[in-house]
Amino acid sequence: MKALQIFKPGKHKAFDGRVISFGEAELRAAAAVYDPALHEAPLVIGHPESNAPAYGRVKSLSYSERVLTARARPGGRAIRRARERGPLQENFRVLLHA
């Protein structure tokens, strides 16, 4: 599966309105310590409170060229539903076959 660009260094607004800066060092560190054996992050759209529906799980993170990327494995009922119907159908077809 194609790597997904998930985060770039810079200032980002949190849900509570705070502006938080993330530098290259923090993103490199996140990629270096990510361990799916401890916890596989859910692949979700946006930031749902329940982390559901999960369209897959993040297998690995890497950082290069000023972007944090994730390699993911699709799975679960949610991905099947998204592929079958809804406004995201085309996006998931690209995501899953890239």
pLDDT digits (tens, 9 = 90+) for 19-65: 999 999 999 999 999 999 999 888 877 776 777 777 788 899 999 99
User: How much is the pTM?
Assistant: 0.71
Q: Give the model's pLDDT for residue 96.
A: 41
**How high is the mean pLDDT of the chain?**
78
Q: How far is CA 29 from CA 2, 5, 48, 71, 92, in A?
A: 22, 16, 25, 17, 29
Range of the domain at 44: 4-97
Q: Which residue carries 């077809």 as its tokens?
A: 93
What would the pLDDT profile of 1-20 be if each residue is shown by its tens digit?
678 888 899 998 887 889 99
| Tally of domains in the chain | 1
Looking at residue 30, its amino acid is A
In this predicted structure, the answer to whether residue 77 has a pLDDT above a threshold of 70 is no
Residue 42 to residue 94: CA distance in whole angstroms: 19
